Amino acid sequence: MTLTEFWPQCLLQLKQSLPAQQYQMWIAPLTVGEENGNWVIFARNTFTFNHIRERFWPAVESARQAILPDGSTPLILKIGQGHPLQAATQAVPPSTIASTAAVDTTAATVVTENPAEIIPKTDPATPEATAKTRAAPKRTESAQDIIAKRLRHSQSKIDSSPADNSESSNIKPAKAEKHEAAAPAIAVDSAQIAVDSAHENSKKSRYTETNLNPEHTFAALVQGKGNRLAHAAALSIAENPGNSMYNPFFVYGSTGLGKTHLVQAIGNQLFAAEAKVKIRYIHADEFIRGIMNAFHAKSFDAMRQQYQQVDLLIMDDVQFIAGKDRTMEEFFYVYNHLIDEKKQVILTCDTLPTHIDGMDDRLKSRFSWGLSLELEPPELEMRVAILQKKAELAQVKLEDEAAFFIAKHIRSNVRELEGAFKRVVAQSRFASRPIDVGLATEALQDILAVNHKPMTLEHIQNTVAKFYGITISDMVGKKRTRNLARPRQIAMTLAKELTPLSLPAIGSGFGGRDHTTVMHAVKSISKLRKNDAETTKAYETLMMILRD
Ligand SMILES: Nc1ncnc2c1ncn2[C@@H]1O[C@H](COP(=O)(O)OP(=O)(O)OP(=O)(O)O)[C@@H](O)[C@H]1O
């Protein structure tokens, strides 16, 4: 059996055993080739490679065993680009495989390093092929229809669905003809590969038109307290765009918290599921520039039309159009058209719709129609998880302590966290050293110096007072009721642990108390932490708040 026979069969098995979305996103884009007698499966990039290796390789292996129980050709996973092949339309019984393999002795040469070496049966560059590509039925369905249709189709139907594979509709007759004529399998496979690569090229150019960043996927986005709701909503939109509950989806928050990444992940997921959905990501600045150009060229109609055609419009930093009358007016038209047509609109902003200074009131109110969600700064755990994810994507080993160290010190936003991570990685490569706390400290010296604020007694007292809902005068006053004495003792203990102050200095900061009172407090709290869950929890929470 040759690779070009094997892989479509393998794809078919995987298609039948994996959820459709996972198959489309991860398995279908894999390409194949041969190297030194080995069959090689190529993943496009490191991220895909790792994901395939960790999540799907056992499935690939078991599909291989099912198809080739005695097969001895090694199957290797690599990063690179081979030839795309599609899943077979039906499983080939082993007897057919054996006889095809016997006929085809040259098929191994079909799969070469250079796709240009393949002489296509139907040259994708010929007018005929181009016409076929162009002749794809004009889409009139909404994004929602397409997704709904896609979900309705069972995996077995996907193969023959014209909606899903308009460009490949010319594959099947060619294949059938070849079989009828009993032509060598090499010719069949060449035609298949040529059409597949035309399909792949047209998909690529459709992707370029979306203006999305391929790295902004859900897989690369860490979930945490700060984005949990928005993340869940984003996934729902990617599954079911145009739903009025989420239309528009308005994501707001401070800089560098992941707004762009999140909204582009929706676009990327949608594109991966159904490449025919027209997606357009645009930064507000680009829209403004477009308006200026349209003004000079007197081409407002063309510009409106261009945007009104899309199924999903993502506009980043929409606050920038505020105060620009003509831009707001044009956006108003585009926006109304899309919402009326049940096309999905996604907007990001630095603040709530109603708070955008200078924004047309009609737009402000329309922006609030769907769902508005805020992204909040990530807490410590999420920052650590983000660093670990960045390390995984960059294939860099990051020690847990180092991740905690960086996350503890860089709190402002994810972009700065990412910047710090890159510096640490650069330092590690430069010094050929592993990323540990020592190396991170060296790499981030200047940032740490600026961020480093020594812990003060006042800060501890304020934090503890706020936590227990008492006042500072209660905290340092003379009253010794339990509801005041316990927080006071906890604050004293935290001061002993987190500041370099001596016991007398701490005592004096608590209304001039003696150092023995502080010693007693420290002992009492330490004892309580061994047998009183409530005190333990309060103490640990306060410690976390103060350290973060
Ligand atoms: N939860 C997350 N998981 C992984 N990476 C994240 C996360 N949030 C943000 N990032 C990364 O942080 C960087 C900044 O994010 P992004 O550009 O999306 O922020 P933003 O909120 O749009 O910022 P701005 O308002 O300045 O445009 C990006 O590289 C993004 O991948």
pLDDT tens, residue by residue, 124-177:
333 333 333 333 333 334 444 443 443 343 333 323 333 333 333 222 323 333
Q: Which residue has the tokens 């992941």?
A: 258
pLDDT band for position 505 (50/70/90)?
A: very high
CA 34 to ligand 1 center in whole angstroms: 39
Q: What is the pLDDT of residue 215?
A: 94
The atom number, within ligand 1, closest to the CA of 221 reads: 3
- Provide the token pair at 465: 């007072």
Q: What is the pLDDT of residue 195?
A: 62
- Residue 509 labeled ligand binder: no
361-364-370-374 Cα dihedral, nearest 10 degrees: -160
What is the architecture of the domain spanning 380-451?
Orthogonal Bundle (1.10)
The atom number, within ligand 1, closest to the CA of 257 reads: 21
Cα torsion 98, 99, 100, 105: sign: positive
The atom number, within ligand 1, closest to the CA of 348 reads: 22
The atom number, within ligand 1, closest to the CA of 231 reads: 1
What secondary structure letter does DSSP report for 435?
B
412 C-beta closer than 6 A to ligand 1: no
pLDDT at 238 over 80: yes
Q: What is the pLDDT of residues 289-308, one digit of tens each?
A: 999 999 898 888 889 999 99
Q: What is the pLDDT of residue 444?
A: 92
Do you know the residue count of the chain? 548
Q: What is the pLDDT of residue 235?
A: 95
Question: If you write DSSP's letter for every residue of 255-278 in order, what string do you get?
Answer: TTSSHHHHHHHHHHHHHHH-TTS-
**Could you give the count of Cα atoms lying within 13 Å of 236 in the half-sphere of its Cβ?**
14
> What beta strand segments (E) does 267-383 contain?
279-283, 312-316, 344-349, 371-374
- Provide the token pair at 487: 């927080």
Q: What is the pLDDT of residue 169?
A: 28
Q: What is the pLDDT of residues 115-128, one digit of tens each?
A: 332 223 333 333 33
pLDDT (mean) for 22-50: 82
CA 417 to ligand 1 center in whole angstroms: 10
Q: Which residue has the tokens 């007897």?
A: 95
Q: What is the pLDDT of residues 65-77, one digit of tens each?
A: 888 877 667 788 8
Residue 371 bridge partners (DSSP) = 249
Q: What is the pLDDT of residue 449?
A: 66
- What is the ipTM metric for this complex? 0.99
Please choose, from the candidates 544, 514, 524, the residue with its C-alpha nearest in 3D space to the C-alpha of residue 482: 524
Question: If you write DSSP's letter for every residue of 228-254 in order, what string do you get?
Answer: HHHHHHHHHHHHSTT-GGGSSEEEE-S
For the chain, give every residue range classified as CATH 1.10.8.60. Answer: 380-451
Contact 488, 473 (CB under 8 A): no
H helices then E strands: how many in the chain? 27, 9
Q: Which CATH superfamily is domain 228-374 in?
A: P-loop containing nucleotide triphosphate hydrolases (3.40.50.300)
Contact 323, 292 (CB under 8 A): no
Residue 499's contacts (CB-CB under 8 Å, 6 or more residues apart) are 454, 455, 456, 457, 460, 506
Cα gap 423→407, rounded to integer Å: 14
Q: Tell me, what amino acid is at 180?
A: E
Contact 149, 165 (CB under 8 A): no
Give, for ligand 1, the residue of 283, 414, 417, 422 to mutate: max count of ligand atoms closer than 8 Å to Cβ.
414
What is the architecture of the domain spanning 3-208?
2-Layer Sandwich (3.30)
CA distances 315 to 147, 236, 346, 347, 356, Å, are 22, 19, 6, 5, 15
Cα 343–349–351 angle (5° rounding)? Answer: 130
- Provide the token pair at 123: 């040259």
Cα gap 115→194, rounded to integer Å: 9
Q: What is the pLDDT of residue 157?
A: 33
For the chain, give every residue range classified as CATH 1.10.1750.10. Answer: 457-547
Question: If you write DSSP's letter for every residue of 302-315 in order, what string do you get?
Answer: HHHHHHHT-SEEEE
Q: Which residue has the tokens 């769907």?
A: 370
For the chain, give every residue range classified as CATH 3.30.300.180. Answer: 3-208
Q: What share of the chain is helix, strand, coil (3-state, %, to 5)?
A: 60, 10, 30
- Residue 130 labeled ligand binder: no
For the chain, give every residue range classified as CATH 3.40.50.300. Answer: 228-374
- Residue 258 labeled ligand binder: yes
Contact 369, 337 (CB under 8 A): no
257 C-beta closer than 6 A to ligand 1: yes
Work out the burial of residue 176: count CB atoms within 10 Å of its CB; fewer than 13 is exposed, 13-18 middle, 19 or more buried: exposed
Residue 83 bridge partners (DSSP) = 32
Contact 383, 417 (CB under 8 A): yes
**Fold of domain 457-547:** Chromosomal Replication Initiator Protein Dnaa; Chain: A; (1.10.1750)
